[in-house]
Amino acid sequence: MEVIVMLIAVSLVLATIFLVAFIWAHKSGQYEDDQSPAVRMLMDDEKTPTTEKKN
Amino acid sequence: MNCYHCGDPCDVPITANDKNFCCTGCKTVYEILHENELDNFYNIAAQPGIKVDVNHQSYYDFLELDEVKKKYLFFENEDIKKIVFYIPQIHCNSCIWLLENSPKLYEGVQNAEVNFTDKTVQFTLGQSVNVVDFALFLQKLGYAPDFSEHKEVKSKNKDLIIKIGVAGFCFGNIMLMAFPEYLGMKDTDSFRPLFLKISFFLSLPVVFYSGWDYFRNSYIGLKNKVVNMDLPIVLGLLTLFFRSSYELYVYTGQAYFDSLAGLIFFLLIGKWYQDKTYNHLNFKRDTLSFFPIAVLKKEGMQFIPHKISTLSTGDIIKIRHKELIPCDALILSGVPAIDYSFVTGESATEYPEQGSKVFAGGKQVGEEILLQVVKNTDESYLTALWNSTAKNKKQKENRLTALSNNLSKYFTLFILLLSVATAIYWFFVDPRLIWKSVSAVLIVACPCALALSLPFTYGNAQRLLAKSNFFVRKMDLIDGVEEITDIVFDKTGTLSNSNKTALTLCGNLSSSEVNFIYTAVSNSLHPLSINIKDYLEKNDSPSIVTLHNFSDQVGLGLSFEIGKDRYKVGSKKFTQQQDKVDEGVFIAKNDEYLAHFNVQHAYRTHLEESIDELKNEYEIHVLTGDNDKDKKLLLEQYGIQNSHFNQSPSDKLHYIQKLQSEGKKVMMIGDGINDSVALSESDFGIAIANKSHSFTPASDAILEAKSFHHLSNYLKFSKWSKSIVVTSFILSFLYNAIGLFIAVQGIFAPVFAAILMPLSSISVVLFTTLSTSILAKRLF
């Protein structure tokens, strides 16, 4: 049963990593605009007639 | 038939490329995009365009001013400048696409990045680009940058999300540690001290970081001698924390760290819900923001843009076509044709003599005029009126805080009395149980569910109302709807639709005269000409004939000759019919009155039903700047008896004040700057807008015009929301009562707290959210 002490330590460290990742993501402004990045990603691939090769 | 660009219905479409447009503005935008091979704009979302409002075009000269530059320019070197524009019109994916493709549209634009949530765009421009021209170009596309000072301070609590994250993290892990105890697992007893210690350390950031605001707020409250809702919460938190720490120290194994973390976690979520605002909507436009930021002032021989606030008596300013006059002034030169509809709500244009006085808020139509400033903008009629009502605005704020503070005052008092009583009782019965039972009372009494009832009910109500196009500025305001007794409407633009006109022909025209007029209006592009053409086609079958000496005098009317007779079709002044009451297009034959087209704004569809529904519960009033030609119509068709005409902005203000002094709670519904003072004075001011991002005066709520007929449902919904709050208050009091009943007996166990507290919070949240959602589904 003593292994439980190690397991708890590992789980706490893992959870803390996720917490830190969350705080970093929020501070770097990733949650500030949730619409335009999603849309922008799709727009880059759009074909315009001018870029099409002739012949 | 709907406009290909903006989706507005168009009765008289303008066609280009087999597509229909409602106005030349929309057509122009389409043509610009089409030329630049950006037709994809129309594929991303259907009819994504923004109708270009020709009545609200700005000049952007003021962007050259250093003071204004600071606001939008944030980086500049020899090659490029980076600017940020606030563009409230951004509303769909097509907008993002188009604006980010602006490098293809405008030479010198290197990059553009949209922030959809804030409605801002960051442009990287080459130094060759003139910012003023670029802003004008954006305006032409329908994306007019807005520079009025307005943005509400973004959430006061910037770290709230992180606080919730920390609390959630600790809450989850503490629950994990407490799990064996919930299940009563005896074989883990040897680990219990370790689990408790970990829980203790995990609870520290929750209490002293995430929950810190509660300590601070209750301290500030006490300092100002106010017992606010945070005080009983802090009492509960402290008792939980110290009692649990004590248990850890003496090792009895009965700790409440899980309840403590869970409590703060739920409370913070409620706060987050409460802080959500519509950042992209502007509810705070005062009268000044309707005026341009700068005006051309004469300096030496040149006219240079100057901020309006720097104008002083004697300055000479130049007002261009469709520009607003920023302050009271004398006319020096030019042909003034002033449209005061902005100030008075009445649509007739005035033609003052040179040398006479014009007033702030008038709009020049036609050529440039030179004016000499008589009074500063601050002293002008509207601004002075606006400033005189400032005192009332404070009262409307924070009414909910007052309500919950009142409640918590009695609540805290009751809890303190109860703990004292419990202590006295156990002192005589079993002194060992005093601390246990008293702390249990304080823990259970923590008004967590109570504190969640308000934000979750009104927050959800606000969200649901916004979904059906009724945007309430602050959720607290929903609470005030219940008390409303009277509703005051503005007429033009509110009851009637200013974008739609109804024509009626008054007087007799022979069929040959109908043909003359039909031919004349067919040759003119004026919107009224197009309306008349449409009207004649509907009612007669006119044909094109030959006219002699036809001339189209812009802004005045049309004239032509048939044989010896000279006909004029146009404004009152042009046809010399100034003595007539009606407004519209007049027809004169040899300067004698022949007939006229009476032009009226059409009333909104379903207006009759809406008014009928509202009449059952509210006293209805109509105030308008127009003359009383509609009095009979309002009375007979809509049954409105209290209608008042020729009302100036201050008349409207006084009318509302009069009602309020009779003890009535007044809701005002209007649309223009002429209603702005009345809107802010009323107990609940609603601004009507064609689109939520349109230019509206300061108000408590914005209602999109197309949902006008839902008004009575919105009001019903708000009233019901209040009942939901009361019910959930009762619900949470019940939880507290059960908890207290057990606590005073000294048999309160941590497991019980761990179940009861989250249960009460979650059930209150579920009850309020579900009941408001179901109600909304029923009503709209």
Q: Give the CATH fold of the B292-388 domain.
A: 2.70.150
pTM of the model: 0.76
Q: Which is nearest to B644 in space by CA: B631, B659, B653, B654?
A: B631
Q: Which of B15-19, B428-432, B743-747 is predicted most confidently?
A: B428-432
Q: What's the rounded Cα separation, in Å, for the pair B664 and B371? A: 44
Q: Is CATH 3.30.1440.10 correct for B14-141?
A: no
B-contacting residues in A 12-31 (Cβ below 8 Å): 12, 15-16, 18-19, 22-23, 26-27, 31
How far is C-alpha B697 from the geometric centre of its chain's CA atoms? Answer: 9
Asked if A48 and B194 come within 8 Å (Cβ–Cβ), the reply is no
Supply the pLDDT for residue B299. Answer: 83
Q: Does B165 touch chain A (CB under 8 A)?
A: yes
Yes or no, beta carbons of A36 and B115 under 8 Å apart: yes
pLDDT above 90 covers a percentage of chain B that reads 10
First to last CA, chain A: 74
Determine the 3-state secondary structure of B323 from DSSP: coil
B173/A15 touch (CB, cutoff 8 Å), yes or no: yes
Where do you find CATH 2.70.150.10 in chain B?
292-388
Helix/strand/coil (H/E/C) assignment for every residue in B591-660: CEEEEEEEEEEEECCCHHHHHHHHHCCCEEEEECCCCHHHHHHHHHHHCCCEEECCCCHHHHHHHHHHHH
- What pLDDT is stored for residue A44 in this prediction? 61
pLDDT over threshold 80, residue B430 = yes
B345 pLDDT tier (thresholds 50, 70, 90):
low
| Residue B66: band (very low, low, confident or very high) from pLDDT cuts 50, 70, 90 | confident
For the cut 50, the answer to whether the pLDDT of residue B649 exceeds it is: yes
pLDDT for residue A49: 45
CA distance B779 to B773: 10
The Cα–Cα gap between A36 and B338 comes to: 43
Q: Are B600 and B501 in contact (CB under 8 A)?
A: yes
Cβ–Cβ gap A5/B194 under 8 Å: yes
Alpha-helical (H) ranges within A1-55 are 3-27, 36-43
Spatial distance between the Cα atoms of A7 and B177, rounded to a whole number of angstroms? 12
Residues of B in contact with A13 (CB under 8 A): none
A45 to chain B nearest CA, in Å?
12
Q: Indicate where chain B has its CATH 3.40.1110.10 domain(s).
A: 498-603
Chain B nearest CA to A30, separation (Å): 12
- Residues B181-205 have a mean pLDDT of 82
Band (pLDDT 50/70/90 cuts) for residue A53 is very low
Per-residue pLDDT, B287: 65
> pLDDT (tens digit, 9 = 90+) per residue, B458-489?
888 988 898 888 888 888 788 888 889 999 99
Q: With CB atoms and an 8 Å threshold, state whether B117 touches A43.
A: no
**Chain-chain contact of A23 with B37 (C-beta, under 8 angstroms):** no
Cα–Cα distance list, B535 to B363, B517, B529, B601, B762 (Å): 29, 12, 10, 15, 61
CB B220 within 8 Å of CB B277? no
- For residues B417 and B12, which has the higher predicted lDDT (pLDDT)? B417
Confidence of residue B201 (pLDDT cuts 50, 70, 90): very high
Helix (H) or strand (E) holding B773, with range, is helix B750-779
Closest residue by Cα to residue B170 from B210, B212, B214: B210
pLDDT > 50? residue B39: yes
Contact A49 B117 (CB under 8 A): no
Q: How many Å apart are CA A21 and CA B173, to the nearest integer? A: 17
pLDDT at B626: 73
The answer to whether B117 contacts A34, with C-beta atoms less than 8 Å apart, is yes
Helix (H, G, I), strand (E, B) or coil at B270: helix
Spell out which residues of chain B touch residue A33, defining contact as CB-CB under 8 Å.
115-118
Q: Is the pLDDT of residue B650 over 80?
A: yes
**In percent, how much of chain B has pLDDT > 70?**
89
- Residue B720's pLDDT band (cuts 50, 70, 90): very high
pLDDT of B111 strictly over 80: yes
Q: pLDDT tier at B11 (50, 70, 90 boundaries)?
A: low
pLDDT band, residue B503 (cuts 50/70/90): confident
Identify from A8, A35, A36 which residue to disrupt to test chain B contact, counting B C-beta atoms within 10 A and taking the largest count: A36
Q: What pLDDT sits at residue B726?
A: 87
Where residue A21 falls among pLDDT bands split at 50, 70, 90? very high
B165 confidence band (pLDDT: 50, 70, 90)? very high
Tell me where in chain B the CATH 3.40.50.1000 domain(s) lie: 458-497+604-719
Asked if pLDDT for residue B692 goes beyond 90, the answer is no
DSSP string, B182-246: HHT-GGGGGGHHHHHHHHHHHHHHIIIIITHHHHHHHHHHHHTT---THHHHHHHHHHHHHHHHH
**CA distances in angstroms from B737 to B154, B424, B627, B744, listed in the order given:** 38, 20, 62, 11
CA angle B514, B603, B349 (to 5 degrees): 65
Give the Cα separation of B262 and B253 in Å (integer): 19
pLDDT at B240 over 50: yes
Q: Given pLDDT bands bounded at 50, 70 and 90, which one contains residue A54? A: very low
Sequence letter at residue B746:
G
Crossing angle of helices B230-250 and B434-445, rounded to 10° = 140
Contact B144, B89 (CB under 8 A): yes
What integer pLDDT is reported at residue A52 of this predicted model?
38
ipTM comes to 0.81
Partner residue facing A40 (CB), from B100, B165, B198: B100
**Rounded distance between C-alpha atoms, residue B4 and residue B613, angstroms:** 36
Least trusted range by pLDDT, from B75-84, B217-226, B744-753: B744-753
Residue identified by tokens 């250093």 is B66
- Put simply, whether B93 touches A (Cβ < 8 Å) is yes
3-state secondary structure of B717: helix
pLDDT in tens, B661-678: 998 999 999 887 778 888
Using an 8 Å CB-CB cutoff, list chain A residues near B190: 1
- In single-letter form, the type of residue at position B253 comes to G
Cβ within 8 Å, pair B173-A12: yes
Cβ density class B433-443: b for 16+ within 10 Å, e for less: bbebbbbbbbb
Instruction: Give the domain ranges of chain A.
Output: 1-25
Q: Taking residues B446-458, what's their average pLDDT?
A: 80
Q: How many CB atoms lie within 10 A of CB A37?
A: 14
Question: How far apart are alpha carbons B699 and B494 in whole angstroms?
Answer: 14
Tokens of B327: 């302050």
Nearest CA of chain B to the CA of A21: how many Å?
11
What mean pLDDT do residues B273-287 have? 65
Which CATH code of 3.40.1350.10, 3.40.640.10, 3.40.1110.10, 2.40.110.10 fits the domain covering B498-603? 3.40.1110.10
Homologous superfamily, domain B458-497+604-719: HAD superfamily/HAD-like (3.40.50.1000)
d(CA B728, CA B601): 46
Please, what is the average pLDDT of chain B? Answer: 81
Query: Which pLDDT belongs to residue B228?
Result: 78
Q: What is the mean pLDDT of residues B318-341?
A: 82
**Interface contact flag, A43 B169, Cβ < 8 Å:** no
Q: Which pLDDT score is estimated for B391?
A: 54
Give me the mean pLDDT over the B711-733 stretch.
90
Question: Are A33 and B162 inside 8 Å of each other by CB?
Answer: no
Residue B334 DSSP class: S
**pLDDT tens sequence across B564-597:** 888 888 877 788 777 776 777 888 888 888 888 8
CB neighbourhood size of B264 (10 A)? 29
**pLDDT score for B150:** 52
Looking at A12-21, B481-490, B520-529, which range is the least confident one?
B520-529
